[in-house]
Structure 1
Amino acid sequence: MGAHHPECPQRLGAINDRLIASGLEAYLEFHDAPLATDAQILRAHSADYLAELRAAVPEHGIHHLDPDTAIGPRTLDAALRAAGAGVLAADLVVSGRADNAFCAVRPPGHHACRSRAMGFCLFNNIAIAALHALDAHGLERVAVVDFDVHHGNGTEDILGEDARVIMASTFQHPFYPYSGDRDAPEHWVNVPVRAGLRGEDLREIVTTRWLPALRSFAPQMIFVSAGFDAHLEDDMASCALVEADYAWVTAQLRALECAGGRIVSMLEGGYALSALGRSAVEHARALADL
């Protein structure tokens, strides 16, 4: 993305370093992500958009798709692997070869719309993974849960008219991308929050809003857009969550009987490197029930 851009390679390094320091890596199984196929991408994105992205890849340097989102010579390969990670994770979890999965990927995905890149995102990784579970594995109902500090407008654009999907989310509002507070599908649970969101606020939202809706919809699998930029230390926004809050909400999702603990989580935001590493590891720890 260029020098000094918050969506930087060091984000994944921070997570990996914290996994090693915590000792958690010894209890996890690691997989290298494959490249997503065109057919998998095209479940969520238009053919014209995929062609436009390929045409935009520069031979050298960086080409900006919008003021926030850039692409370099190898960016498209990275984005295809990020999407492929969610596809592989869905395969592993649906087949029972893994109880659940956390995909430490970049670029993130939840702002990527059907025909538009934005907000650091090229492909909507979580939508691609969810649609793969539905279309390739024959699941009838899935949930997307998004606790990134920004609204997952791309996920809503792609999945909003799919009756097989429910979305439960919180996001700071008014804030980028200035959406999510209106026109969502009736059974979705988008909860805009003011700056200053704290753990007790999140717990009330999850307990009184998310969980009743999720139980009523009874998803067979849950896909998590795991953004950690609502953390107290992250100056990308103005919220005040801490690692324990992410662990708590993860445990609540894991305990939902309808999904049987089948969760695929994919990294979205989180730009304060130490807070990102700590939060992602506590999220993974809760997924692993350790």
Structure 2
Amino acid sequence: MRTGFFTHADCSRHEMGGWHPECPERLQAIQDQLIASRIDPFLQHREAPPASLEDIGRVHTQSAIARIRDHIPSPSEHYYSLDGDTFLNPFSWDAALHAAGAAIAATDAVVKGELANAFCAVRPPGHHATPTESMGFCLFNNVAIAARRALDVHGLERVAIVDFDVHHGNGTEAAFVGEDRVLMVSFFQHPFYPYSGTSDIGAHAVNVSVPAYSGGDQVRQLVTQNWLPALHAHRPQMIFVSAGFDAHREDDMGQLGLVEADYAWLTQQIMTIADQYAQGRIVSSLEGGYNLSALGRSVAAHLKVLAGLD
């Protein structure tokens, strides 16, 4: 079996202004780096279908869905503002459906054994989108929607969500508060947007806050001490990854100091857990990462490990 690579052209049509760091060029930077590093031929490319409203509705309220659908601007209007840094353009609805649809299709393919694991090169990202609100560049919570499908459609009993974005995945946390079947482990810079993740919400959320200017060595130690024991105890039957690469030292969206080797190491730890408890089943979906060169190199490092090419 191979590693799947899910994307859709509509994900590049969503844009929020030429000044905005969450830009269509992010996906092109990933594709260019996969070609340059000669990884591309080893991936199984699949076009993402649109998500159904039924799947999205397992995580998001009808009012949250309607706020996006009903405020898509006309081509002459250009943008509609959801918050100070999250905007809709005429193509945002289709992009959001395909971003969530990629994670759903990847989940289906991995659970059915068609693929060993998968990466979704999609935008808009998702981990800040709560059940009731789109925020922080995010419209629908792609990883949460996929995890719900694994639980509620495929009947898995336990899944884990690993989030290594520089920002706390507040939307994902909110989607699974009190859900014993889901373990969420994350690290994130703190204090930092969205200024969450430090409250004790129970044993099924292992949120590790790290101060600005922490490097890969500190993060690896925290992961070893905090994430891995929790993941072993949970014994997930599938792992979902909110793969944000804005903790890279070249990314000025945050102030952490990770490099490509750290992302490769993180991916290997995730794969070891997945191989032990989850038949290797992993679905990873793009979140942050705004320095285009660092993003492309980091995704390549992540995919090399997923595809067994390292």
Structure 2 length-normalised TM: 0.92
User: Structure 2 CA distance, aligned partners of 1:260 and 1:129?
Assistant: 17
User: Structure 1 CA distance, aligned partners of 2:232 and 2:166?
Assistant: 24
Amino acid at match of 1:37: S
* Larger displacement relative to structure 2 (222-231 or 180-189): 180-189
Kindly provide the CA deviation profile for residues 1-21 of structure 1, in whole angstroms up to 9, marking residues without a partner as x. 111100000000000000000
Count of equivalent residues: 290
Ranges in structure 2 where 5+ consecutive residues have no aligned partner: 1-15
1:242 Cα shift? 0.1
CA contact (8 A) 1:44 1:127 kept: yes
Amino acid at match of 2:67: E
CA contact (8 A) 2:182 2:204 kept: no
User: Structure 2 CA distance, aligned partners of 1:215 and 1:177?
Assistant: 29
Is residue 73 from structure 1 mapped to residue 68 from structure 2 by the alignment? no
Alignment of 1:179-194 (within 5 A): 179-194=196-211
User: Of the candidates 122, 125, 132, which is equivalent to residue 105 of structure 1?
Assistant: 122
Kindly provide the CA deviation profile for residues 82-118 of structure 1, in whole angstroms up to 9, marking residues without a partner as x. 0000000000100110000010000000000101010
User: Of the candidates 27, 39, 42, which is equivalent to residue 54 of structure 2?
Assistant: 39
Residue equivalent to 2:40: 25
Where do 4+ consecutive residues of structure 1 move more than 3 Å? none
Residue equivalent to 1:5: 20
Kindly provide the CA deviation profile for residues 213-262 of structure 1, in whole angstroms up to 9, marking residues without a partner as x. 00001000000000000000000010000000000010111011012321
CA contact (8 A) 2:117 2:283 kept: yes
CA contact (8 A) 1:253 1:261 kept: no
1:78 Cα shift? 0.2
Residue equivalent to 2:177: 160
1:185 Cα shift? 2.5
Residue equivalent to 2:255: 238
RMSD in angstroms over aligned alpha carbons?
0.7
Residue equivalent to 1:254: 271
User: Structure 2 CA distance, aligned partners of 1:28 and 1:49?
Assistant: 35
User: Structure 2 CA distance, aligned partners of 1:282 and 1:108?
Assistant: 20
> SS state of the match for residue 245, structure 1?
helix
Residue equivalent to 1:288: 307
Identity of aligned residues (%): 59
* Larger displacement relative to structure 2 (255-264 or 13-22): 255-264
User: Structure 1 CA distance, aligned partners of 2:197 and 2:205?
Assistant: 11
Amino acid at match of 2:132: S
* Larger displacement relative to structure 2 (51-60 or 38-47): 51-60
Kindly provide the CA deviation profile for residues 139-178 of structure 1, in whole angstroms up to 9, marking residues without a partner as x. 0000000000000000011112211100000000000000
Structure 1 length-normalised TM: 0.99
Residue equivalent to 2:8: none
Amino acid at match of 2:304: R
CA contact (8 A) 1:111 1:155 kept: yes
Is residue 274 from structure 1 mapped to residue 289 from structure 2 by the alignment? no
User: Structure 1 CA distance, aligned partners of 2:283 and 2:71?
Assistant: 30
User: Structure 2 CA distance, aligned partners of 1:220 and 1:19?
Assistant: 29
Residue equivalent to 1:51: 66
Ranges in structure 1 where 5+ consecutive residues have no aligned partner: none
Kindly provide the CA deviation profile for residues 44-67 of structure 1, in whole angstroms up to 9, marking residues without a partner as x. 000111112111111120111100
